[in-house]
Amino acid sequence: MPLLISFLLPFGINYAIFIIIWAVCFFAFDFVRKGMQRMNNNKWSYVLLLFFFVHLLSYFFSSNKMDALNAIEIKLSFFAFPVLIYSSNYNEMQIKKIIISFVSGCVLVSVINIFRACFLYFFQDFNAFFYSEFSYFMHPSYFAMYLVFAQLIIILFYPKWLSHLTNLNVKIGFMSVIFLITIFLCSSKMGLITAFLLLPLTLSIVLYNNGYQKIIIGLLIGLIVLIGVAYKVFPTPFERMKQAFKVTTSAQNIDKTDVESTAVRILIWKESVKLIENNILFGTSVGDANDKLIEAYEREGLEGALLKKLNAHNQFLQTFIGTGIIGFVLLLLMTIGSLIYGFLKKNYILSLFSILIIFNFLVESMLQAQAGFIFFAFFFCILTHYNFHKLNKTS
């Protein structure tokens, strides 16, 4: 089940049936008592479970019971995955299969998206090489995040885990090119930022530690040339970045009727902070959080945000609005806390995952959408339970 979920994550389907089957199999056929002991020994389980129960308790203080129930349903992953993953005792080969299956799923979806865009362009005269038109299975921001994480896995672990394969460097190169092209065509601003920051830095550190210092300079030059060519051939993603930078530098002069994504986010964040200041201890309750935001949009005349009934578009603010200081602190533990924990335990992929999540949490309420909360809860539990850097090379 975890291998299947991992492979299907990039397809954005409903995973509830897989989690239910996994839970039934665990309680029916596994060593439940030993599993519960392993879960209790992992202190991160208390953080995730408490995060879930804070949302559950908030239901009783919500006026909008339907939204509250939806929030609890979404946060069930923070109950199910700690129980199922922290209680597990997979061997090295099983863990590698779970992680590699995720990368394989990302490769398959990327190839499907590219071929689909080519087909539409050549046979139906439709340009699907940009943003939501390109990313068919899920929102491009989430898919770009998946691809950055998959590429980090390739850089850090594929040379060691798959050293027995013939032409491994060619296969790694092919997947990397596919991922970079897809990230670029997704045109997610945060996807491009995290890819530009994390991937070259991680690759440079790996090359430096393996004694390939001269190659780093060549790669940097190649990256600059590639960006220049991409700017000429596909200028649209760069235009999105320019517009975002322009809006950010003039944040005090944003028109409240503006519908540009960065402008709307800045306006929303200002109203979110006001809500937090008025409900700092216990929040507005998870069921009423979005209703309070919509009331603020209507009161302040934020037409773009009101039209689409947008959430806070920042998970830290969204959680603080709904659950108050307790939920916010728990979210900080799962992000900044896991970042520090990863460095202390030399679990560097956990630290990189945390950085990736923090960046995306800053501009998206990721835990309000399935593509976000399943990805986060699933890999957070995997990464805090198993240190990939300690897995030996296995043919």
List Cβ<8 Å contacts ≥24 apart for 40-47. 42/82, 42/86, 42/384, 42/385, 44/82, 44/86, 44/338, 44/380, 44/381, 44/384, 44/385, 45/82, 45/83, 45/86, 47/330, 47/333, 47/334, 47/337
Torsion over CA of 385, 367, 321 and 313, rounded to 10 degrees? 130
Residues 105 and 7: beta-carbon distance below 8 Å: yes
The stretch 45-74 carries a mean pLDDT of 93
pLDDT bracket for residue 193 (50, 70, 90): very high
pLDDT bracket for residue 241 (50, 70, 90): low
pLDDT of residue 265: 84
3-state secondary structure of 88: coil
pLDDT of residue 395: 46
The stretch 345-356 carries a mean pLDDT of 96
The stretch 144-155 carries a mean pLDDT of 97
In a domain, 236, yes or no: yes
Q: Kindly give the residue spans of alpha helices, DSSP state H, lying in 76-188.
A: 77-86, 92-123, 131-134, 140-161, 168-186
In a domain, 115, yes or no: yes
AA letter at 39: M
Residues 89 and 385: beta-carbon distance below 8 Å: no
In a domain, 95, yes or no: no
pLDDT bracket for residue 332 (50, 70, 90): very high
In a domain, 352, yes or no: no
d(CA 14, CA 159): 33
The stretch 279-288 carries a mean pLDDT of 91
pLDDT of residue 76: 92
pLDDT of residue 234: 66
Instruction: Give the position of tokens 């659950």.
Output: 323
In a domain, 46, yes or no: no
In a domain, 289, yes or no: no
In a domain, 211, yes or no: yes
- The pair of structure tokens assigned to 20 is 């239910």
Query: What is the pLDDT of the chain when averaged over all its residues?
Result: 89
The stretch 166-173 carries a mean pLDDT of 94
**The pLDDT of residue 394 is above 60:** no
Tell me which residue of 133, 145, 138, 231 sits closest to 188, measured CA to CA: 145
In a domain, 129, yes or no: yes
Give tens-digit pLDDT for 10-33. 999 989 899 999 999 999 998 899
d(CA 66, CA 59): 9
Tell me which residue of 3, 1, 127, 5 sits closest to 373, measured CA to CA: 5
Expressed as residue numbers, the domain containing 214 is: 104-249
What's the domain count of the chain? 1
d(CA 266, CA 243): 13
